[in-house]
Amino acid sequence: MIHYQDTFENAIALYEQGISLIPLNPPDRVYESKPKDTDSDGKHPATKLVPKWKQYQEERAPEDDVVRWFSDDYNIGVITGKVSGGLWVADFDDMKLLAYVNMHFDKLIEDSTFAVMTGNGIHLYFRSTDTVQNVKFCLKRGDLQPYNAELDIKGEGGYVVGPCSVHWSGKRYTAMNELPIATIGKPAELIEKLRMHTEEFWIVKACLPAWTPNHRHDATLGIAAFLKSRGWPVERTENVFKALCLMGGAHDDWERDVKDTYEKEKANYHSYLDSKLADVLAEIVPAKKEQLYLAGEPQFKPLTFHRDGDFWFEQIEGKQFVKWNLKNGEHELVSSFTIGERTETVKGKKRTVPIIAVPVSDKCVESGQIILPKAPIPTDNTWSVPHYFCTTMVFVVL
């Protein structure tokens, strides 16, 4: 990947790499903090030039249009997804997070592929033949909305701001190297590795204030017991303590403390952790996956239930999530929540179908098996439900 100091030359170089581009409005001035007017943050499409910019998520613009757009002072919008040859971008908004993630790779990720320094982080460019969806990693926050974990994946239907564009702070997005965009054979594995290390980073960040010389023994016992209670394998817990010792000071006996904790049948972390820290850790790694974060554009197909005696049900991973009692017409649902509505046309008439989902296991989430029940009582042995489960929606909980 060749990089230049000029926006026009950068745009042409990216276009020649098979990447779909759109013009973005540059900031109207330098801001000390992110502007509330989103049209002024340097990240939004220049709709005066491209009022139907989403078409370029399906097909690339003609080269003449690209030349015309970027002959003027517009930021570069880099469209991710199939239209750009399977391009996807790991968007880090925290350089400390990137530093932690790099501890678990043989070489710095930014030295392995084309990378762009942003206003407050880094974009890592990759390509894959497998489709990669947009994913926003979030941390649970009690009953409130999840908050950003400082790492996004931009894939199908997404875009990022390209090199040489102007950030709202006045900084330039700058190419960090001249490397080609790396091709990843199994992107899901890399993304999952990034997710796990992001989760570990937030645990380390939360625990550092409690990692003081006189309290490291109790802190180790409490943190290890908490992570064990959340089902973490000992290897991931060890990652946390290696980072705590590196960033906050050594504790010579941490390995023995972790080993002893994991060998116990039950370990009570409340005996060792301050209640405030315990609450923070519980926000980062909830006991149950009670909140799922929705990202990406969904696609749908009908869901079919099958009959078993007096009940109709869909069964996944040995768990019966939905059942309908034919005797009294009542249905039973496990932890459902509405994620939206879908309008469809049946025999020329439009109808709105609520989309209802229930939490499922990691394996089910990855394969898109989200249950969407509620339908009229069936009269035969196959029940085609006028609700849908998502085949491309991505749900992530940290």
Closest CA to 118 of 68, 81, 152: 152
CA distance linking residue 288 with residue 73, whole number of Å: 49
Q: Yes or no: say if 142 and 283 are a contact pair by the CB < 8 Å rule.
A: yes
CA distance linking residue 276 with residue 286, whole number of Å: 15
| Cα angle value 22/395/351 (rounded, 5°) | 80
What is the edge-to-edge ordering of all strands in the sheet holding 319-325?
331-333, 319-325, 311-316, 300-308, 382-390
> Quick one: pLDDT at residue 31?
83
| Cα angle value 18/23/24 (rounded, 5°) | 130
What is the mean pLDDT of the segment spanning 263-279? 86
Q: Yes or no: say if 220 and 257 are a contact pair by the CB < 8 Å rule.
A: yes
Burial group, residue 244, by CB count within 10 angstroms (0-12, 13-18, 19+): buried
> Quick one: pLDDT at residue 261?
94
- Amino acid identity, residue 190? L
> Quick one: pLDDT at residue 41?
84
> Quick one: pLDDT at residue 77?
96
Q: Is the dihedral of CA 129, 300, 317, 336 positive or negative?
A: positive
Closest CA to 148 of 165, 161, 160, 135: 135
Structure confidence by residue, pLDDT tens digits, 160-189: 999 999 998 889 999 999 899 999 999 989
> Quick one: pLDDT at residue 358?
37
CA distance linking residue 340 with residue 320, whole number of Å: 23
> Quick one: pLDDT at residue 153?
92
- What end-to-end distance do the CA atoms of the chain give, in Å? 34
Which ranges in 52-157 belong to alpha helices (H)? 63-69, 95-102
Is pLDDT above 90 for 201? yes
Site of tokens 């099958």? 306
> Quick one: pLDDT at residue 267?
77
Most confident of 23-32, 147-156, 388-397: 23-32
Is pLDDT above 90 for 101? yes
Instruction: Fill in the DSSP letter of residue 180.
Output: P
> Quick one: pLDDT at residue 147?
53
> Quick one: pLDDT at residue 63?
95
Residue predicted with more confidence, 348 or 368:
348
Structure confidence by residue, pLDDT tens digits, 292-302: 333 333 333 33
Is residue 69 classed as helix, strand or coil in its secondary structure?
helix
Instruction: Fill in the DSSP letter of residue 85.
Output: T
What is the mean pLDDT of the segment spanning 82-107? 93
CA distance linking residue 327 with residue 280, whole number of Å: 46
What is the mean pLDDT of the segment spanning 34-42? 78
Most confident of 29-33, 98-102, 340-344: 98-102
> Quick one: pLDDT at residue 55?
93
Lowest pLDDT segment from 33-42, 123-132, 134-143 = 134-143
Q: Yes or no: say if 236 and 193 are a contact pair by the CB < 8 Å rule.
A: no
> Quick one: pLDDT at residue 227?
94
Is pLDDT above 50 for 376? no
Q: What does the longest C-alpha to C-alpha distance in the chain come to?
A: 73
Is pLDDT above 50 for 35? yes
Is pLDDT above 70 for 385? no
State phi, psi for 359 to the nearest 5 degrees.
Answer: -60, 145
What is the mean pLDDT of the segment spanning 211-219? 93
Mean pLDDT, the chain, integer: 75
Please give the CATH number for the structural domain made up of 7-187: 3.30.2250
Listed in order, strand segments (DSSP E) in the chain are 21-24, 75-79, 87-92, 115-117, 122-127, 135-141, 144-154, 159-161, 174-175, 182-183, 293-295, 300-308, 311-316, 319-325, 331-333, 337-346, 349-357, 382-390, 394-396
Instruction: Fill in the DSSP letter of residue 311.
Output: E
| Cβ neighbours of residue 272 closer than 8 Å, sequence gap 6 or more | 218, 219, 221, 222, 225
Is pLDDT above 70 for 211? yes
Is pLDDT above 70 for 15? yes
CA distance linking residue 327 with residue 102, whole number of Å: 58
| Domain boundaries defined on the chain | 7-187, 211-284, 293-396
CA distance linking residue 281 with residue 168, whole number of Å: 33
- pLDDT range class, residue 216, cuts 50, 70, 90: very high
> Quick one: pLDDT at residue 345?
61
Lowest pLDDT segment from 105-114, 262-271, 377-386 = 377-386
What is the mean pLDDT of the segment spanning 24-32? 86
What is the edge-to-edge ordering of all strands in the sheet holding 75-79?
21-24, 75-79, 159-161
Model pTM?
0.70
- pLDDT range class, residue 344, cuts 50, 70, 90: low
